[in-house]
């Protein structure tokens, strides 16, 4: 009897194996994307839940470092007795800043330098007390009598030194598009928090140029952004017809929003009483310029800029009412981060699917 050739199984094996492999690969890609989405979604939800969590201490108390118990804000007496100045590390129009020591921990002591600006100083203190959250530098104590504020020390300093910090060998691993975008997200999160703060809609007025903006924020050792200077933070109240003006002098340059510039031309001398007030959308106008600084010129940063092009174009609308809210900008930044992480985790995912 003639035997049948056994070619059927050998003919189909080469076709079946790639089909099964492709199906498994696609399933793995989908599973990875789903897990990544769930992780990022859980991460962002947890951020919202701790919006006002600043060490899980009640109002008027603080803790930091490895300390487990909350301590009440230091009083005048405690500051005079327990805080030791080490050296002056900065001085602005309103206050002088000293690196100091409290119970063997580095802290920052700020003192008023110009008595004519004591209202600004006290306003900053009021804001610092009321806005304690994960977005704001931690308040440790204050003394209104002596115009003194004590805050947590962050050795990396203000955001002005970000690029220099990222070139230090210890931090070179942080100099990536991912980490830089996370810092931009932190910055926009601060703006969103100020625009929807417990006190109402607050405008970041100390922001007339990029260098001034960067000086208002601190870079923490675990690479997050905190707002540090709240001296110029007026309140917008539309229902009461209250808008703001950032100072009493003429503002110039492309960095400030169009509505912050003198609208009557060079032939008409600037008069503060004639200058129209404005709202929090001035902060939105500045976001693209600040984010461009954050993104720098590392590999991948141009791709991030491309994904942010539309939202940044919207931020630069001449009409403030047409600009997005800080929440809308933040949502877009987070979506872009999620998308780019997905694509980086599984290169070619879009083509495969």
- Higher pLDDT residue, 29 or 46? 29
How many other CB atoms are there within 10 angstroms of residue 353's CB atom? 10
pLDDT tops 60 at residue 339: yes
Query: 278 pairs with which residues across the strands?
Result: 244
Look over the chain and give the mean of its residue pLDDT values, rounded to a whole number. Answer: 88
Domains 72-152 and 157-344 share a fold: no
Q: What is the pLDDT of residues 94-143, one digit of tens each?
A: 899 999 999 999 999 999 999 899 999 999 999 999 999 999 999 999 99
Which range (120-129, 172-181, 242-251, 336-345) has the least confidence?
336-345
Contacts within 8 Å (CB) and 24+ apart, 237-245? 237/200, 237/201, 238/201, 238/279, 243/277, 243/278, 243/279, 244/203, 244/205, 244/277, 244/278, 244/279, 245/272, 245/275, 245/277, 245/278
Domain boundaries, the chain: 72-152, 157-344
Residue 231, judged by CB atoms within 10 A of its CB (0-12, 13-18, 19+), counts as buried
73 and 80 Cβ atoms separated by less than 8 Å: no
Within 13 A of 280's CA, how many CA atoms are on the CB side?
21
Class for the domain spanning 72-152: alpha beta
**The domain 157-344: what is its CATH number?**
1.10.510.10
């Amino acid at each position: 009897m003639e035997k049948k050739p056994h070619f059927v199984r050998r003919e189909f094996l080469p076709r079946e194996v790639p089909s099964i492999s492709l199906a498994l690969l696609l399933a793995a890609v989908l599973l990875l994307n789903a897990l990544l989405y769930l992780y990022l979604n859980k991460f962002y939800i947890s951020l919202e839940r701790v919006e006002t969590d600043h060490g899980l201490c009640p109002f008027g108390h603080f803790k930091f470092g490895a300390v487990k118990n909350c301590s009440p804000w230091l009083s005048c007496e405690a500051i005079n007795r327990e805080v030791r100045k080490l050296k002056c590390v900065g001085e602005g129009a309103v206050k002088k800043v000293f690196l100091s020591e409290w119970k063997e921990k580095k802290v920052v002591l700020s003192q008023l330098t110009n008595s004519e600006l004591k209202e600004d100083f006290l306003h900053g203190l009021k804001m610092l007390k009321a806005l304690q959250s994960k977005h704001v530098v931690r308040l440790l104590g204050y003394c209104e009598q002596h115009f003194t504020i004590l805050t947590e020390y962050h050795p990396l300093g203000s955001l002005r030194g970000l690029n220099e910090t990222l070139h230090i060998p210890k931090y070179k691993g942080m100099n990536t598009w991912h980490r830089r975008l996370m810092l931009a997200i932190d910055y926009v999160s601060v703006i969103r928090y100020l625009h929807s703060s417990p006190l109402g809609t607050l405008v970041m007025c100390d922001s007339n140029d990029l260098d001034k903006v960067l000086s208002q924020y601190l870079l923490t050792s675990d690479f997050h952004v905190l707002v540090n200077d709240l001296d110029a933070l007026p309140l917008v109240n539309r229902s009461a017809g209250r808008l703001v003006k950032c100072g009493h002098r003429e503002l110039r340059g492309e960095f400030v929003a169009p509505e912050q510039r003198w609208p009557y031309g060079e032939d008409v001398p600037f008069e503060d009483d004639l200058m129209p007030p404005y709202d929090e959308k001035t902060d939105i106008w500045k976001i693209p310029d600040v984010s461009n600084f954050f993104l720098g010129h590392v590999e991948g940063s141009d791709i991030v800029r491309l994904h942010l092009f539309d939202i940044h174009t919207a931020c630069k609308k001449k009409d403030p009412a047409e600009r997005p809210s800080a929440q809308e900008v933040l949502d877009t930044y987070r979506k872009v981060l999620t998308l780019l992480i997905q694509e980086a985790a599984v290169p070619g995912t879009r083509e495969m699917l």
